Amino acid sequence: MHRLSSRRLATAIKDPYNAFISIRQSPKQGEGPLAPLTWVAKDNITTTEEPTTCASAALKNYYSPFDATVVKLLDEAGATLVGKANLDEFGLGSSNTNSAFGPVKNPLYEEFRVAGGSSGGSAAAVSGELCDFSLGTDTGGSVRQPSSYCGVLGFKPTYGRISRWGVAAYAQGFDTVGIVARDFSVIRRTFDVIDKYDEKDVTAMPPWIRNKFGAAHLPEKLRIGVPREFLVGELSEETKKEYSTTLENLMKAGHTVVPVSLPSIKKALPAYYTLVSASAASSLSRFDGVRYGVSVGPQYPETIIPENRAHGLGTEVKRRTLLGNFTLSSESGDHFVRATGIREHLVEEINDVLQFPNHLINTEGNPDGVHVLVAPTAFGIAPTIEDYKSACRTSLVNGYINDIMTIPASLAGCPSISVPMRNRRYGIQVMTQYGFDRFLLKAAELIEAHK
């Protein structure tokens, strides 16, 4: 990958974690319900004052002509944007090592451990107390997993809740703007501001569905589902211990913990990467150095696009683009159709175990079901950067397999949040039915109290 140097930093903020790609030189404190909170936007969310690079050499000098809807809403609410966060290039990665601006260091450790990805800069900025909250994007876990690694809250709302207008697309059927913060009050206040219908976003949850979700009333005792399929062999012993302790504390407090089964989770990983790679091949085709991005000025017209893309795009972006184009070709057979079928089956299985109805597809809830599902967010603590790179050299699958813990909620479009466990090195993930985001936040806050 073509490596770029860090941008000029404001003297008011010191960034020892490489969490920022750019820092706003003269941030203005606003007035409103979020004042005087400071925040950071993942650098695939457009702003007009800074470049929107998507951590790619292809877009190193790209300035958007407009602010994203979420940026406008937060500005109007008085929050102060202080900079743009590092990420895996175009959101493709789980370690924030696929960035033209270099990897992000996890603030929890003295040694260099990865911050997770793709929203590693967003999580590190909050964990390192460089801002009060940040926005990331979560396609298959890209807010929750780095939040788990960095010991902060990482909230992926229901798909379509938050406007994607002004967010560079990776996989448009999955991409969700998420919130990272250190406490629930900031998560809730931020969500209240940006949870708005946006007619400019064709994937936005329409008002007639939004109106079906009333006030979030938490029962005195929760019924908590533990999917068997999440108890995989790759979980570290420490993760299992922390997870078990949290469940035991919940049961001692009178909450009911029951095992449930979601068989489609076993097929979720290949289904997810089949679908998102196909989407990425389409979404990223625009970054050719002609319509967007840097052109290297090739000698012959017929080589303009391939040379621009070869020079400007990183290895992982090229890999997934090739995989996606193959998936969409006649040679791949019916992989895309089969992956879509697995996604549908997973939604049906989640509907069967949850008490709440799925208002999107008009299915009733299960009266004997559970309120939430819980699982570890990641296999273990954040690996050192050397261990992570070594594992990926051994097998590329090692760079993807950890996503099995977070992609089911993404496939189903469900809201999900990663909550730090006792020592902040591990996260527990809480999920619930499509659209019941505010119930989820209340339930997750209760669960956090029993970690």
State the catalytic residues.
42, 118, 142
* Type and span of the H or E element at 178: strand 176-181
User: Which two structure tokens, joined as six digits, stand for 97?
Assistant: 């090592």
Quote the longest CA-to-CA distance of the chain.
72
Conformational region of residue 168, where left means phi above 0, alpha means psi within -120 to 50, and beta covers everything else: beta
Q: What Rg value do the Cα atoms of the chain yield, rounded?
A: 21
Residues 306 and 292: their CA atoms lie apart, in Å, by 14
Which residues share a beta bridge with 23? 83
Judge whether 18 and 101 are in contact, CB under 8 Å. Answer: yes
- Tracing tokens 């949290």 back to the chain, one arrives at 246
Residues 297 and 289: their CA atoms lie apart, in Å, by 9
Conformational region of residue 73, where left means phi above 0, alpha means psi within -120 to 50, and beta covers everything else: alpha
Please name the amino acid found at residue 183.
Answer: D
Residues 25 and 7: their CA atoms lie apart, in Å, by 11
Residues 91 and 52: their CA atoms lie apart, in Å, by 13
The CA–CA distances, whole Å, from 430 to 88, 157, 387 equal 25, 12, 28
User: Which two structure tokens, joined as six digits, stand for 307?
Assistant: 């040379």
Number of residues that make up the chain: 451
CA 311, 43, 157, 109 torsion: positive or negative?
Answer: positive
Which residues share a beta bridge with 260? 227
Residues 301 and 72: their CA atoms lie apart, in Å, by 40
Rounded to 5 degrees, what are φ and ψ at 448? -60, -35
